[in-house]
Amino acid sequence: MNVLITGGAGFIGSHTADKLIAAGITTVVIDRAKPKYKNDQAVYYRLDLNDPETEEVFRTHAFDCVIHLAAQASVAVSVADPIKDASDNIMASVRVIEYCKKYNVKKIIVSSSAALYAVPQYLPVDEKHPVSFLSPYAISKHTMEEYVKLSGLDYIIFRYANVYGPRQDPHGEAGVVSIFIEKMIKNLPLEIHGDGEQTRDFVYVADVAEMNCRAVLSPASGVVLNVSTNTQTCVNDLFSAIKQNTDYTLAPNRAPSRAGDIKHSVLNNALAAQALDFSPKTALADGLKETVEFFKRTY
């Protein structure tokens, strides 16, 4: 098979590229960033998806499948610059979809977000939960989903929970895991907002990459699937678990709750387990240990 990963030089994309290549799948990457974690067996193009030159990559390689991971991932940026957010998450996605149709790509797999569930009405959140939006980012991801559904292509839409693991950037719109780890290995002060009892569903990046790979090979199509562990972890427990793997000596600073933060979030992953015969299996303690070791080597 011949697969394109957009955003394949990024956090989830680079792990997905490694997984596909290990499975013997020819892998091409388009990313506007210089690859920091480059697999020598992949072909890389440094392009913005809105650049007309992107079409030439589709014309040249005749892809069987596209994994579309490239995105503007910051909620804060989407609020401050909704034009950029729409350009990166809607217009770029539409271009990818149209190229897939024009060059007879058999299947598209796209990354969406648990942000579409906003404040959950029930837990765990399944794929039938109503969508609602607290940011332009969530709106742009949902719009991308709708374009995919109307495309006529075979598709799988993944809605990711809180992905963490090695190679995650601790700066910018980083996840709480990478932010905590960087500060804790450097013994710097960190903040926990509110009482720290707010919960999230943390899923290890290697498991996410495995699901992306299985989606390429699976006959499943026309489905929206949660990518999660179906497990709630509160921020206080996350802090304690990371502390066990570091020499951190400080107590966390307590900060006020942030406006708009939801209290609890956990995604039901039963549908994905059924469709792909796999559910994330990396225990949080094991994933955090691997991630801390990576950060110690890197930062």
Domain that holds residue 102: 2-298
- Residues of the chain with pLDDT > 90: what percent? 95
Check which CATH number belongs to the domain holding 32 and give it: 3.40.50.720
Q: What is the pLDDT of residue 3?
A: 98
Whether the per-residue pLDDT at 259 is higher than 80: the answer is no
SS3 track for the chain: CEEEEECCCCHHHHHHHHHHHHCCCEEEEEECCCCCCCCCCCEEEECCCCCCCHHHHHHHHCCCEEEECCCCCCHHHHHHCHHHHHHHHHHHHHHHHHHHHHCCCCEEEEEEEHHHHCCCCCCCECCCCCCCCCCHHHHHHHHHHHHHHCCCCEEEEEEECEEECCCCCCCCCCCHHHHHHHHHHCCCCCEEECCCCCEECEEEHHHHHHHHHHHHHCCCCCEEEEECCCCCEEHHHHHHHHHCCCCCCCCCEEECCCCCCCCECCECCHHHHHHHCCCCCCCHHHHHHHHHHHHHHHC
- The whole-model pTM stands at 0.97
> What amino acid positions are annotated as catalytic residues?
137
In tens, the pLDDT along 77-98 reads: 999 999 999 999 999 999 999 9
Domain count, the chain: 1
Mean pLDDT of 105-116: 97
pLDDT digits (tens, 9 = 90+) for 178-207: 999 999 999 999 999 999 999 999 999 999
